[in-house]
Every structure is written in C-alpha cells, then in structure tokens.
C-alpha cells in the first residue's frame, strides 16, 4: 500500500491541497480530508468505456485517426470545454486550434465569462484565499452558494478558517449573503439580502450610491429597503479587510457583465475607505486556468477564433452557444466537459448533427452523441499536471494510479501531429498535381 499526503483535489475551484490518498493494487482505497464530493470522485476513479467510433469499440490509434480525419476535413471546427483538465492540456488545445484555424472556447463563456469581460473593463482588485483566511473580517457571498458547491471553502478559507489576524475564525468575521433565495449559505450569514430576481444591478447601484455619500430616495432597490442598504454599507465600510465573492447568480442573470462591472466598481469604491478584495467563485477545478492559459497564449481568455491565422476575440460570435445555435461549425472537439448536459437544447442537439469528438475520462452525455469517443486518464488521479485555484494560484496535480489510457494532453498532441501530417501531405500532393 502507498500513501499520498497533501494531494490536490481538483473537483471544484477551491482545489483543497490537503487530501490523503491510500492506494493498493492500483486502486484508491481511502481518501481522507476531502468533502463528500471529493471522496466519491476519488474512490470511483476507474477507467471508463473503451475508445469508440460510430458506437463501435476500436483500438485507441483507430479512434485517434478517425478524430484526425474529421478535424483535417472540417472548414470551421470548434474546440470547446477544457475547464476540468490540466493547463498543459489547455495549452495543447490552443496549439491544435491554431493548426486547424478553429474557434476555441471554454466553459467560461457559459459561467463566469461576463465577469471576465467586466474585469477587462474595470480591473480586478483581487487577493489570494490565503489573505482571506488570515485577514478578512467581512466576507460577502453574492449569487453563490459555497456551502453546497464548494463544501470546504468556509472551513479552509473564508468563514470558520482561523488565520493570523482572525484567530477566532467565525467569531472574528461578519458574513453577508445576497441571493434570490435563502440558500444554505444565506442561512449561515449574519446579514442576508434577498434580492428580487434579475435586480442585482439596482442593489449594487444603491450600495455604491451610499458608499459615495449620496442619499437614497426610492422605497426599495431590487426588493431591498434603504435601511437594509445602509446597514450593509456600514458593515462594508467598517471592515478592516473585506472580501467580495461572486458567482453565477451575478454573472448569468439579467445584466450579466454590467452586474459584475458594478460589483467590481463597488469594491474599487470601498478601497478608497478600507481594504477590500474580490474573487470570482469559480466552479470547475481548472476553469481559472483555462482563462489564464488562453490569455497568455493568445491574448484573450475565451471566445477565440484562429480562421485568419491569428487569434480574434469576440464573445457572442466565437462563443459556444452562439456558434452551435447558428450552426456555424462543421465539427466539434469537446475536451473534459459535457455540453450536451449543460448547454441550451438547440445548441446541444446540433452537436449530434455534426461529427463530434469527445476526449473525457468519463462516458458523458456528450460522449453518447459523439462520433468518436477517446477515453483519457483522469487528471489529478491517473495523470499529473497544473491547475489554477479560483484566486489564480497554480497548484500541481499528482498521478497516484495508472490508467490504460493516455492523458488529455498526450491525446491532443497526437491529434495535432496527425492533422499537421495530413495537411503536409495534402500540400505536397497539390504541388505534384
Ligand atoms: S471543496 Fe472542492 S476542492 Fe475541496 S475537497 Fe471538496 S470538491 Fe475537492
């Protein structure tokens, strides 16, 4: 038996790095320290279905060749997903996108993408989760529910966590929750603002107005009274070190990037009075890494197109729901993601009409409608790599067991090599003819 200490769990953006795994005969037999989600994922990590082409079991090389053939023939291919794999695989996907002249998009475009657009407009006064643990005495959770989606966030970083200047943990902190319903997170908060659906912008605007010394004249703002707004402003302004976490309840409701722009501006206003940071509450294990890798390789975080030989950025044009719903792509390569289970039906159904290739450790809903399924070694379990925590801190993932399949990274490099060889032979042929 082998024991692996301080292993990183990559199943949500918290990336807890204190998991202890016990491995016997290439099987994880015990997972200690993580939450229930983590235990279930580690303990059920087994190799999935065999490689498939048109529903038939094939050898791995044959599935790679089928993928190469589809992508080499496509005029407008799409590469999508990438948020639950390593940054090394994300970089390989960008390289393949460039080789193919493809559109490259990540799950960011359907979750925190609007927040990233807002960040490009006003900047992100941010901090690390370590600073939250050691310094924060006021913590805001807006449109997110970490109690259910990031189960150890409270105890490791933001609420009960005991830190350098917050030795009492929970007793040293004021927690404010803002949501359209009383979530599990809201039930634990000291102050809960139940905002009317799609009216976050009004509440944020009212908060900014008060913080900037203005008087409120309306009776309510997004369902919140001026007295409640004033109470929250008093807590925010009296913080020694405040942190604002926001989730998809802010990014994907009416107003999208305008909501986040207003939230980031509120944090900027608060920094004139005290110290305040903001961290997007990212869901998938390495969705923060997707934006980072795409940005350092192309200059842009998502919604990128290489058809002119250089990267162009256009959310709303080169983003997955738009490309699929307008039927603008003729082949799709889906990496470590399940758009058939998450995208609107119109976009998801189109994936079944075009040749779709799926690279994933699990036989997902998208894999079921794909023409080619390439099973991969799950990263952080049977493949190593790098991932970025929600606060942009990079962490290493370990391989603790062997898989009979290669990693996403190796599969993407093999496809890239195949497509490059295919284009070279086509070019040579055209010169001869
Ligand atoms: S909170 Fe997230 S990262 Fe931490 S153990 Fe649970 S699933 Fe893993």
Question: pLDDT at residue 251 above 90?
Answer: yes
Residue 1 lies in a domain: no
Q: Tell me which of 227, 255, 280 is where a domain ends.
A: 280
Please state whether 127 falls in left (phi above 0), alpha (psi between -120 and 50) or beta: beta
pLDDT (average), residues 33-48: 88
* Residue 428 confidence class, pLDDT cut points 50, 70, 90: low
Residue 97 shares a structural domain with residue 168: no
What integer best gives the mean pLDDT of the chain? 95
Write down the pLDDT at residue 12.
96
141 and 262 assigned to the same domain = yes
16 C-alpha to ligand 1 centroid (Å): 6
What confidence category does residue 343 fall into, taking pLDDT thresholds of 50, 70 and 90?
Answer: very high
Examine the pLDDT at 432 and tell me if it is beyond 70.
no
Provide the 10 A C-beta neighbour count for residue 5. 10
325 CA distance to ligand 1 middle (Å): 34
**Residue 406: what pLDDT?**
96
The alpha carbons of the chain give a radius of gyration, in whole angstroms, of 23
Q: How many other C-beta atoms lie within 10 A of the C-beta of residue 383?
A: 26
Residue 257: CB within 6 Å of ligand 1? no
pLDDT for the residue numbered 20: 98
The ligand 1 atom nearest the CA atom of 34: 5
Q: Tell whether 291 is covered by a domain.
A: yes
Atom 6, ligand 1: residue with shortest CA distance: 35
User: pLDDT value at position 46?
Assistant: 73
Instruction: Verify that 121 and 269 share a domain, yes or no.
Output: yes
Asked if 248 and 295 sit in the same domain, the reply is no
Query: Which tens digit of pLDDT belongs to each residue from 41-63?
Result: 999 877 677 999 999 999 999 99
Q: Is pLDDT of 28 > 90? A: yes
Q: What is the pLDDT of residue 215?
A: 94
Confidence of residue 429 (pLDDT cuts 50, 70, 90): low
42 lines ligand 1 (CB under 6 A): no
Q: Are residues 348 and 301 in the same domain?
A: yes
Domain check: are 165 and 274 in the same one? Answer: yes
Which pLDDT belongs to residue 325?
96
In a shared domain, residues 270 and 343: no
**pLDDT over threshold 70, residue 431:** no
Do the beta carbons of residue 171 and residue 162 sit within 8 Å? no
Interval 286-315 mean pLDDT: 97
Q: How far apart are the first and last CA of the chain?
A: 62
Question: Is 205 in the same domain as 135?
Answer: yes
> Does residue 14's CB lie within 6 angstroms of at least one atom of ligand 1?
yes
Mapped to the 3 state alphabet, what secondary structure does 295-340 carry? HHHHCCCCCEECCCCCCEECCCCCCHHHHHHCCCCCEEEEECCCHH
Answer whether 35 contacts ligand 1 (Cβ < 6 A): yes
Q: What range does the domain containing 290 cover? A: 47-110+285-432
Q: Is residue 33 part of a domain?
A: no
Q: Does 137 have pLDDT greater than 90?
A: yes
pLDDT at 65: 96
At 427 the pLDDT is 67
Instruction: Among 17, 43, 149, 151, say which to mutate for ligand 1: greatest number of ligand atoms within 8 Å of CB.
Output: 151
Nearest CA to ligand 1 atom 4: 16
**Is residue 295 domain-shared with residue 232, that is, in the same domain?**
no
pLDDT higher than threshold 80 for residue 118: yes
In a domain, 23, yes or no: no
Pick the last residue of a domain from 257, 280, 303: 280
Q: Reply yes or no on whether the pLDDT at 425 is more than 70.
A: no
Distance 145 CA to ligand 1 centre (A): 14
Q: Verify whether ligand 1 is closer than 6 Å to residue 403 (CB atom).
A: no
pLDDT of residue 433: 60
Question: Please, what's the b/e burial string for 244-281 (b: 16 or more CB within 10 A of its CB; e: otherwise)?
Answer: bbbbbbbbbbebbbbbbbbbbbbbbbbeeeebbbbbbb
Ligand 1 in contact with 261 (CB < 6 A)? no
């Amino acid at each position: 038996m082998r024991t692996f200490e301080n292993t990183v769990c990559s199943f949500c953006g918290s990336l807890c790095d204190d998991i202890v795994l016990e491995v016997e005969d290439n099987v994880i037999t015990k997972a200690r320290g993580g939450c229930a989600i983590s235990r279930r994922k580690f303990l059920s990590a087994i190799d999935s279905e065999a490689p498939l082409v048109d529903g038939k079991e094939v050898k791995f090389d044959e599935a790679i060749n089928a993928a190469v053939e589809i992508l080499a023939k496509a005029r407008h291919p799409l590469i999508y997903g990438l948020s639950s794999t390593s940054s090394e695989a994300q970089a390989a996907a960008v390289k393949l996108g460039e080789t193919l002249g493809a559109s490259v998009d990540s799950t960011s475009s359907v979750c925190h993408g609007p927040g990233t657009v807002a960040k490009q407009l006003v900047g992100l006064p941010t901090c690390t989760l370590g600073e939250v643990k050691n310094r924060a005495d006021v913590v805001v959770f807006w449109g997110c529910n970490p109690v259910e989606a990031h189960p150890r966030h409270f105890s490791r970083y933001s609420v009960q966590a005991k830190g350098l200047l917050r030795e009492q943990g929970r007793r040293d902190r004021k927690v404010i929750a803002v949501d359209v319903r009383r979530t599990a997170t809201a039930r634990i908060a000291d102050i809960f603002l139940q905002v009317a659906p799609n009216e976050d912008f009004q509440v944020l605007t009212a908060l900014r107005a008060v913080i900037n010394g203005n008087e409120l004249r309306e009776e309510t703002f997004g369902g919140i009274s001026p007295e409640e707004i004033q109470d929250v402003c008093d807590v925010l302004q009296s913080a020694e070190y405040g942190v604002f976490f926001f989730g998809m309840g802010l990014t994907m409701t009416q107003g999208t990037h305008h909501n986040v722009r207003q939230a980031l501006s509120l944090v900027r206003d608060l920094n004139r009075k005290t110290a305040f940071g903001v961290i997007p509450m990212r869901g998938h294990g390495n969705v923060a890494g997707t934006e980072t890798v795409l940005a350092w390789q192309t200059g842009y975080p998502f919604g990128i197109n290489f058809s002119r030989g250089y990267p162009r950025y256009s959310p709303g044009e080169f983003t997955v729901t738009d490309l699929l719903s307008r039927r603008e792509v003729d082949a799709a390569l889906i990496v470590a993601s399940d758009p058939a289970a998450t995208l609107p039906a119109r976009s998801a159904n189109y994936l079944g009409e075009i040749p779709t290739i799926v690279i994933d450790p699990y036989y997902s809903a998208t894999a079921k409608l794909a023409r080619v399924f390439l099973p991969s070694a799950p990263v952080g379990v049977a493949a190593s790599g790098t991932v970025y925590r929600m606060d942009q801190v990079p962490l290493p993932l370990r391989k603790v067991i062997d898989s009979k399949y290669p990693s996403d990274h190796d599969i993407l490099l093999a496809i890239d090599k195949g497509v490059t060889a295919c284009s070279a032979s086509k070019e040579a042929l055209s010169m001869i003819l």
